Structure 1
Amino acid sequence: MANRTTTAEDVKHDTRAAAREAREDLKEGARKLKEDARETLEDMADNQAAERLRERGAEFAETVRETGREYADRARAGAGRLYEEGHRKAEEGYDELSELVRRHPAKSLGIAAGLGFLVGLILARR
């Protein structure tokens, strides 16, 4: 049971690390874009510079689209991995609980009856 907490913490840590990495990548991309835009604006003295600006703008737009797709794919893959891990952990927990009930049926029945009684008391007071 302690593995689930560790696994959840690992998932949180991985998610935060991926978010930090994405944030840093976006900051770096924005910095480069700002530098390139500044250089391009300085070159806009003639029509060739304006055409170059349009081309670079189109290139940057495509780069942003590709980067967005890449991060979306990463997020989908991460979500799928988390789903599979959660599903596997749930099955393991169910198997552990089933085995425990098989080994100690009387205790399990007593615990279930006690919990049922408590839930009944709580619901009856509402």
Structure 2
Amino acid sequence: MANRTTTAEDIKRDTKAAAREAREDLEEGARKIKEDGRETLEELSNNRAAERLRERGAEFAETARETGREYADRARAEAGRIYQEGQRKAEERYDELSELVRRHPARSLGVAAGVGFLVGLILARR
């Protein structure tokens, strides 16, 4: 079973994609609400209740904008936190690997030579 390590760049890319998708979903939802609201207001434009509905619609639109901004801010903050955590873990793994190479230089050289040999074989067959 292969052990896949996630890099800070993978985490950053995934977080950006999730934030972009959330923003697009919010924008599409806001557009639909706006269109539905316009249609409803047009149907009721001859009615006094229409004015009240316009006011309520404006209130809902403002609430939606505020909620969207809040959601985007939270997503940005979480993306930053995840990125920092990824950076920290990458640095820890690098330090661990460096220490391992310092403690066992001959073994490390052998592993590197073996990997180089296998890569050479693979490339030579192409």
Alpha-carbon deviation of 1:104?
A: 2.6
Q: Does 1:97 pair with 2:95?
A: no
Q: Give me the CA root mean square deviation.
A: 2.8
Structure 2 residue aligned with 1:83? 84
| Alpha-carbon distance, 1:6 to partner | 5.1
**Residue equivalent to 1:44:** 45
Q: Matched residues in 1 for 2:19 and 2:99: separation?
A: 37
1:60-94 deviations in Å (ceiling 9; x for gaps): 11122012202211221121012112112112212
**Mean CA deviation greater in 2-11 or 49-58:** 2-11
CA distance in 1, matches of 2:18, 2:62: 26
CA distance change for structure 1 residues 74 and 13 in 2, over 3 Å: closer, same or farther?
A: closer
TM-score (norm 2): 0.66
Which TM-score applies when normalising by structure 1?
Answer: 0.66
The percentage of counterpart residues that share the same residue type is: 9
1:1-126 mapped onto 2 (5 Å cutoff): 8-104=9-105
Q: Comparing both chains, which one has the higher relative contact order based on Cα–Cα distances under 8 Å and sequence gaps of 6 or more?
A: 2
Name which of structure 1's ranges 40-49 and 50-59 shifts more when overlaid on structure 2.
40-49
* Matching residue's letter, 1:44: S
Partner of 1:111: none
* 2:41–2:50 contact (8 Å) kept in structure 1: yes
Q: Any conservation in 2 of the 1:40–1:49 contact (CA below 8 Å)?
A: yes
Unaligned runs of 5+ in 2: 109-126
When residues 35 and 60 of structure 1 are mapped into structure 2, their CA distance, relative to the original with a 3 A threshold, is same
Distance in 1 of aligned mates of 2:48 and 2:24? 36
Distance in 2 (CA, whole Å) between partners of 1:16 and 1:104 is: 41
- The answer as to whether partners of 1:4 and 1:89 remain within 8 angstroms in 2 is no
